[in-house]
Amino acid sequence: MSEEKQQVSRRQFLNYTLTGVGGFMAAGLLISPIRMAIDPVLKPSSAGEYANVGLAVEDITTEPQRVDWKIDQVDGWYESKVNRSAWVFKNENDEIMALSPTCTHLGCVVSWEGSEDHPNEFFCPCHDGRYYKDGTNIAGTPPTRPLDLYDHKVENGMLYLGKAQVRGEA
Amino acid sequence: MLQKIYDWIDERIDITPIWRDIADHEVPEHVNPAHHFSAFVYCFGGLTFFVVVIQILSGMFLTMYYVPDIENAWKSVYYLQTEVAHGQIVRGMHHWGASVVIVMLLLHTLRVFFQGAYKKPRELNWMVGVLIFFVMLGLGFTGYLLPWDNKAYFATQVGLEIAEQVPFIGEYLKTLLAGDAEIVGAQTLTRFFAIHVFFLPAALFGLMAAHFILIRRQGISGPL
Ligand code: HEM
Ligand code: FES
């Protein structure tokens, strides 16, 4: 509005330039370390490869059975074989179900009929977590969601399992 | 001899006022346990600082043997614990000190709380104190993984799952802490080591400096 010219004083000019230059220097200094620190978050997650778990499809019954297999795990610069497990069975619709045994409460290992008091359920000994046969958590016990479900496929009559997928809350 | 060295330095750079300003001031009667024994509650802040000094010194020496590598971390701790003369003691200092420091911090906080010493004008220092508390918890959490035994591994597993429960950013937070979206492994150990030994101690120093400067500025709160 005012008619006067907006004067930039020598002091203001120096302040702006020095702040600007300083800002660029700080940014230049920090950008690479920060990008380096957050790299794990930005890396694409590895697509789950399928592994033969050594169980013939014809041997899968309606009774959950535990299968153990090994996968090649790449952890940064460290490659190793690690154990995986699943509880495998056929449900009422004759579909293959492969449930992760990792308790969705705090990560202990659940087992089928792991407690004599709770037949026909998965049981977690750590805090008495319980799940129905389809892996759905039983309300009133600590777990907050169903057991994870492995992706599966069948090749030459053998069961292959991939990544364990999170299912929605019950 | 020492006096001469001191005088020589003092003559050139006049250091007497500097250390006087830091160290030479009266302790008010109401915080002096020699006057009222119950004033021992004022000691917990200083005791917290003392244990932090122990943690830093013992930690620096542990780092001479410790390696943050999943093949060797456990072995290096085992070695320093069993083969190195006095290694057991230094590890013991760090191990027990980590718990004692939290206890002292809590006692100090309780004293400030129940005396109402956090009230105006000292609210800022209460906030700084809360940040110190979080940094200390972080040090305990990251340090606990370092021995890389079963207890360490599963404690971290649980801690990371707790972090994952944070709304919206939980999964990113977990990956950022663990260095991998699924694995608690080689990259987790190096990250936790860096955080434990460099990042959090640096933050702690800054916060402690702020804490003490504020105390000098505002003085200790008056008697009840
Ligand atoms: C208030 C400060 C600190 C706290 C509360 C703390 C806490 C811990 C804890 C709980 C452990 C696990 C020890 C065990 O289970 O035996 C640990 C290990 C370790 N800390 Fe610290 N720490 C602190 C400061 C430091 C500093 C400043 C350094 C290094 C400069 C350091 C270096 C280490 C190392 C190398 C280990 C692994 C050796 C071992 O497990 O015994 N710490 N710390
Ligand atoms: S970990 Fe399974 S019930 Fe708590």
* SS3 assignment, position A90: strand
Residue B91's contacts (CB-CB under 8 Å, 6 or more residues apart) are B58, B62, B77, B80, B81
The residue of chain A with its CA nearest to that of B179 is: A40
Same domain? A38 vs A56: no
Residue A170 has pLDDT above 60, yes or no: no
A39 and A57 co-located in one domain: no
- Decide: helix, strand or coil at residue A56: strand
**Is 80 exceeded by the pLDDT of residue B87?**
yes
Does residue A32 sit in the same domain as residue A97?
A: no
Q: What is the mean pLDDT of chain A?
A: 92
What confidence tier does A1 reach under pLDDT thresholds 50, 70, 90? low
Instruction: Give mean pLDDT, residues B209-213.
Output: 96
Query: Using the beta-carbon criterion (under 8 Å), do B176 and A38 form an inter-chain contact?
Result: yes
Least confident of A85-89, A126-130, B8-12, B19-23: B19-23
Q: Is the CB of A106 under 6 A from ligand 2?
A: yes
Residue corresponding to tokens 């009266």: B26
Residue B158 placed within a domain: yes
Residue A30 shares a structural domain with residue A93: no
Pocket of ligand 2 contains residue A147 by CB under 6 Å: no
Regarding whether A62 and A8 lie in a shared domain, the answer is no
Confidence of residue A3 (pLDDT cuts 50, 70, 90): low
Cα A25 to Cα A28, A30, A38, B186: the distances in Å are 5, 9, 21, 33
Distance CA B62, CA B40 (A): 32
B199 DSSP 8-state letter:
I
Q: In the numeric block, which tokens belong to residue B63?
A: 């780092």
Residue B224 lies inside a defined structural domain of this protein: no
CA B110 to chain centre: 18
Query: Two tokens at B18?
Result: 């500097």
Tally Cβ neighbours within 10 Å of residue B134: 12
CA distances from residue B82 to B19, B61, B73, B85 in whole angstroms, order as listed: 43, 16, 14, 8
- Determine the residue of chain B that is closest to A45 in CA distance: B181
Q: Are B193 and B68 in contact (CB under 8 A)?
A: yes
Residue A35 lies in a domain: yes
In this predicted structure, what is the pLDDT of residue A5? 76
Radius of gyration of chain A (CA): 28
Contact (CB<8Å) B176/A106: no
In a shared domain, residues A59 and A111: yes
Identify the pLDDT of residue A47: 65
- The answer to whether residue A91 sits within a structural domain is yes
Q: Which domain holds residue B173?
A: 1-218
pLDDT for B23: 85
What is the residue-averaged pLDDT of chain B? Answer: 96
Q: Which domain holds residue A68?
A: 51-165
Quick one: A68 and A20 in the same domain?
no
CA distance B203 to B8: 36
Per the listing, tokens 């109401």 go with B30
Question: Which token pair is A149?
Answer: 């479900």
The reply to whether A74 and A141 lie within a common domain is yes
Cα-based torsion angle of the residue sequence B134, B137, B139, B144 in order, rounded to the nearest 10 degrees: -160
Residue B194 lies in a domain: yes
What ligand has the least distance to the C-alpha of A131? 2
Question: For the residues A11-21, what does the mean pLDDT come to?
Answer: 96
Q: Is B73 exposed, middle or buried (0-12, 13-18, 19+ CB in 10 A)?
A: buried
Q: Are residues A84 and A119 in the same domain?
A: yes
Q: Is A157 in the B-facing interface, judged by CB distances under 8 Å?
A: no
**Partner residue facing A76 (CB), from B175, B182, B187:** B187
> What integer pLDDT is reported at residue A25 of this predicted model?
97
CATH number where B142 lies: 1.20.810.10
- Which amino acid belongs to residue B201? P
Q: How many domains does chain B have?
A: 1
What token pair was written down for B139?
A: 């040090």
**Residue B185, both tokens:** 């492994």
Assess if residue A170 is contained within a domain.
Answer: no
| Range in B22-26, B29-33, B47-51 with the lowest mean pLDDT | B22-26
Mean per-residue pLDDT, B170-174: 95
Q: Is the pLDDT of residue B224 over 90?
A: no
Phi, psi values for residue B98, rounded to 5°: -60, -35
Task: State which amino acid sits at residue A10.
Answer: R
Residue A148 maps to a domain: yes
Identify the band that residue A106 occupies on the pLDDT scale cut at 50, 70 and 90: confident
In angstroms, the CA B223 to CA B135 distance is 30
pLDDT at A118 over 90: yes
Q: Check the CA dihedral B142-B148-B151-B154 and report its sign.
A: positive
For B43-83, the three-class secondary structure string (H helix, E strand, C coil) is HHHHHHHHHHHHHHHHHHHHCCCCCCCCCCHHHHHHHHHHC
Cα–Cα distance, A140 to A105 (Å, whole number): 12
> Domain check: are A150 and A70 in the same one?
yes
Structure confidence at residue A152 (pLDDT): 95
The answer on pLDDT for B74 being more than 60 is: yes
Residue B166 maps to a domain:
yes
Per-residue confidence band for B3, with pLDDT thresholds at 50, 70 and 90: very high
**Assembly ipTM:** 0.81
Whole-number Å distance between alpha carbons of B150 and B148: 7
Domain count, chain A: 2
The pLDDT confidence band at residue B190, using thresholds 50, 70 and 90, is very high
Does A107 lie in the same domain as A67? yes
> Percent of chain B beyond pLDDT 70?
100
Q: For residue B26, is it within any domain? A: yes
Task: Tell me the C-alpha distance between A109 and B157, whole Å.
Answer: 13
Residue numbers in A near B186 (CB within 8 A): 75-78
Q: Tokens standing for B149?
A: 């035994």
Q: Residues A56, A14: one domain? A: no
H helix runs in chain B, sequence order: 2-13, 16-23, 43-62, 73-82, 87-114, 123-145, 150-164, 170-178, 186-194, 200-218
